[in-house]
Structure 1
Amino acid sequence: MNLKRLDPSGWQRVLVVVAHPDDAEYGLSSAVNSWTQRGIEVSYLLLTSGEAGMKRSPEEVGPLRAQEQRNACRTVGVSDLTILDHPDGNLVYGLDLRRDIARKVREFRPDVVIGGNYEVEAGWGLDQADHRAAGLATLDGARDAGNRWIYRDQIEQDGLEPWSVSLLLVSHPSEPTHFAEVAEADEAAAVASLECHREYLADLPWHPAPEEFIPPMLHGMGERAGVGRAMLFRAYDLAGVLSDEPAEEDAEEEAAE
């Protein structure tokens, strides 16, 4: 597998779109921490507040999980968090999701948009329905944002302007194309970010502790990429911003042959 290294040196803003609080904390937050440490502004867009994800009533859970997500964001340098009120457990791929994602893209104007895996079968088994709807809507909503004639009310009534994203990344894909190398400090930040969801995790007695599975997961992805630790992505280059050069390790191997 010839995975290529992502080069974030020209990035200014990254938008992460997920379905629920804690979704970004399963490895992705390690890459987020590495980017914010470089001065890149990262924003999170959550489509639900995760109100149906615990044993308590949704009225109690929504605000609780929102606060846990704010705590998690702080551990990796994310200051901009938007949580929408789509119904947890009942996300439906369609215009409502695409419109809201396009609005956030037009407001935040990111170079890169990151969504989750939208396949029925993910690396861990059958994926949850909200994840699939959110991932697919992210691909389409991000592209919708660049078309002046889609969601015209956002432009004509709200004063937003079209914005074309340069790069779309899908996290935890079954067939990755690129990787972001992360450091030991980024790994620690990722563990800490998931630990911030303590009330949520307490409702899941079967769930392993973050420090038990986040480091092995990042090391496993790093092994596939030929580095110590990594986060893997499938990349869609919408503006010719990706280099065709292989990762540094691959280039050295080719030169030696």
Structure 2
Amino acid sequence: MRRALVVCAHPDDVDFGAAGTVASWTSAGVAVTYCLVTRGESGGDGTRPRAETGAVRQAEQLHAADLLGVAEVVFLDHPDGAVEPTQALRRDLTRVIRRVRPHRVLTWSPEINWDHLPTAHPDHRATGTATLAAVYPDARNPNAFPELHAEEGLEPWAVAELWLADAPRQLRNHCVDTTDFFERRMAALRCHVSQVGADAELADRLLAHFTDTAARYGLPRGRLAEEFQVVNTG
């Protein structure tokens, strides 16, 4: 696994849900690309204009990605709060997949996690649905969006693995030991000042969450882990 693509709806999604995993990949020499469907202009406390909020959140995400060693960050500029799994979004994601040619794609589950409803944002689930369609069948199908080949020279590409974050708990089947990367993942998350502010308890809450996750997978006491639903697309 030499190249990975992370697709999420908003700046900060990956840093809340998978930054430790991303840090483990980049530390192992994997080239990671982020694809953000929106710039997060609907986030924040409403004191800034939407365009300014989007610009601030974009800068925060770029800083966070840099701390984790992410090779590239792509913004698709779909409207925050109104993401739908349209043909246009599927084409945009297929374009990114064919250009990056990732062996693994990580995105958000298209299903609702009823154990923690706040993470089941409609944009997250729509992004997951569109990414799933882009991974299979669009990116590998030469008859899907043929203009990408004819006009941009982008050959079809088959992604081997799809990793889904925040899937319903009963569907999660894989964990990544992220103990050694906790400080880096927290540094990346702290870059999102417009979203997390000076939340003094954030690290403690996440530490407890990742400790519990590691314990459920049988990791030794004191280890931390992030978990996913991993799907072989073959």
**TM-score normalised by L of structure 1:** 0.83
Counting only pairs closer than 5 Å after superposition, residues 92-107 of structure 1 correspond to structure 2 as: 92-107=84-99
Distance 1:208 1:121 in 2: 26
The answer to whether 1:131 aligns with 2:124 is: yes
Matched with 1:182 is 178
* Deviations, residues 17-43 of structure 1 (Å, cap 9, x unaligned): 000000001130100001100001111
Distance 2:212 2:186 in 1: 15
**RMSD after superposition:** 1.5
1:128 aligned partner, one-letter code: H
SS of structure 2 residue aligned to 1:26: helix
Contact 1:27 1:214 in 2 (8 A): no
1:164 aligned partner, one-letter code: A
Contact 1:49 1:88 in 2 (8 A): yes
Distance 2:75 2:126 in 1: 16
Matched with 1:153 is 147
The answer to whether 1:142 aligns with 2:138 is: no
Cα gap change, 1:17 to 1:156, in 2 (>3 Å): same
4+ runs of 1 displaced by more than 6 Å? none
1:96 aligned partner, one-letter code: A
* Deviations, residues 4-62 of structure 1 (Å, cap 9, x unaligned): xxxxxxx1011000000000011301000011000011110000000111211111111
Distance 1:41 1:110 in 2: 9
Matched with 1:118 is 110
Cα gap change, 1:169 to 1:215, in 2 (>3 Å): same
SS of structure 2 residue aligned to 1:149: coil
Gaps (5+ residues) in structure 2? none
Higher mean C-alpha displacement, 105-114 vs 77-86 = 77-86
**TM-score normalised by L of structure 2:** 0.91
The answer to whether 1:164 aligns with 2:154 is: no
Which of these residues, 209, 214, 220, is aligned with residue 222 of structure 1?
214
Cα gap change, 1:118 to 1:66, in 2 (>3 Å): same
| CA deviation after TM superposition for structure 1 residue 208, in Å | 6.5
Distance 1:72 1:16 in 2: 14
| CA deviation after TM superposition for structure 1 residue 84, in Å | 1.2
The answer to whether 1:83 aligns with 2:75 is: yes
The answer to whether 1:62 aligns with 2:57 is: no
Distance 2:157 2:216 in 1: 34
**Larger radius of gyration between Structure 1 and Structure 2:** 1
* Deviations, residues 124-147 of structure 1 (Å, cap 9, x unaligned): 115211011001111111121010
Contact 2:17 2:165 in 1 (8 A): no
* Deviations, residues 190-218 of structure 1 (Å, cap 9, x unaligned): 1111100012323xx8x674312222221
Q: Percent of pairs identical after alignment?
A: 33
